[in-house]
Every structure is written in C-alpha cells, then in structure tokens.
Amino acid sequence: MIDAQNLRKVYKINTKKSGLKGASLLCFFTTGYLGISWMRTALFEFFSGAMIPVALFPGWLKTAACCTPFPYMIQVLVAVLLGQDTMLSLPGAYGMQVIWILVFLVPYGFICVVPVEILRGSASLYWNFALPAVSIGFFLLARAVFYRGIRHYESVGM
C-alpha cells in the first residue's frame, strides 16, 4: 500500500540528489540568493510532477518536461506504483533514467575514480594525459566564471 509518508520519503531522497546546483553561480550576479533558491525549487517541483502531474501538462510542456531529469525522479516512480501511464513505455522511462544517471555519474566518476586509479597505477596511459588536460580546461572555465562573477558582485548591508 502506498501512503503519503512513503511518497514524502521518496521525494526527500530524490530532492537531495537533484541537480540544478549550478544555479548557485547566479548568486554572483544578484544581491540575494533567495529568489534563485526558490526558482530552483519551483522548477524541480513543477517539472517533477510534485505540484501537478506531468500527465496533465499540454503536449508541448510534457515534451519539454520529458527532456529534463525531473519527471523521472518522482512522476514516473509514482505512476509505476499506481499503475498509471508513464508518458513513455516502461523500458523507455527506465532508459531515460539510465541516460540521466550516466549524464551525472560519468563526470562524478571522472572526478573521483580516475585520480584514484592513476595513483594506484592501474589506469591506462591515456588517463594520465587526459585527466590533467580536462582538469585544466574545467579549472580555466571555473576561474573565468568566478572572476566574472567577482566583477559583478554587489554586497547589501543590513
């Protein structure tokens, strides 16, 4: 039996794992973070089906929602448990979940696993050259965003 308490637990777990953390960089360009935080939460809750089921969206909005990872975090799980339509066939929905897991997991593995493999000496020679090149590229990108943000930064006193 599905009850509200179990659905809240699933929602909390998936919310903690959700993306859109990059929206935090927008705080450099505003005088407050609260609006950005609310926007991030609203986008997640809207497109995940937490506020309105994605099945009730108009066709174009349903298509847009299906291109994000959010409906696969809540809406598809709830639809499967309730025996309702999952927007895609069940294998297609699971396939999209796998794609989004790879989108977020591959960079994580590249950041965490490859350096350990290099230190242990079990990584191929390719990774010994690719990791520093990719790291320098992302460092330069992060540095550029940071310094551009610092130039636009404004502080608001109390």
**The pLDDT of residue 82 is above 70:** yes
**The pLDDT of residue 158 is above 70:** no
Contact 128, 118 (CB under 8 A): yes
Contact 91, 67 (CB under 8 A): no
User: Residue 20's closest CA among 38, 5, 32?
Assistant: 38
Q: What is the pTM of this model?
A: 0.53
pLDDT > 90 fraction of the chain, expressed in percent and rounded: 0
**The pLDDT of residue 59 is above 80:** yes
Average pLDDT over residues 2-9: 50
Output the pLDDT for position 120.
Answer: 77
Better-predicted residue by pLDDT, 47 or 131? 47
Cα–Cα distance measured from residue 32 to residue 53, given in angstroms and rounded to the nearest whole number: 31
Output the pLDDT for position 95.
Answer: 85
Give the CA distances from residue 149 to residues 24, 40, 56, 59, 137, in Å, rounded to whole numbers and listed in that order: 11, 19, 39, 38, 18
Q: What does 55-118 look like in DSSP terms, one character per residue?
A: GGS-HHHHHHHHTSSGGGTTHHHHHHHHT---SS-HHHHHHHHHHHHHHHHHHHHHHHHHHHHH
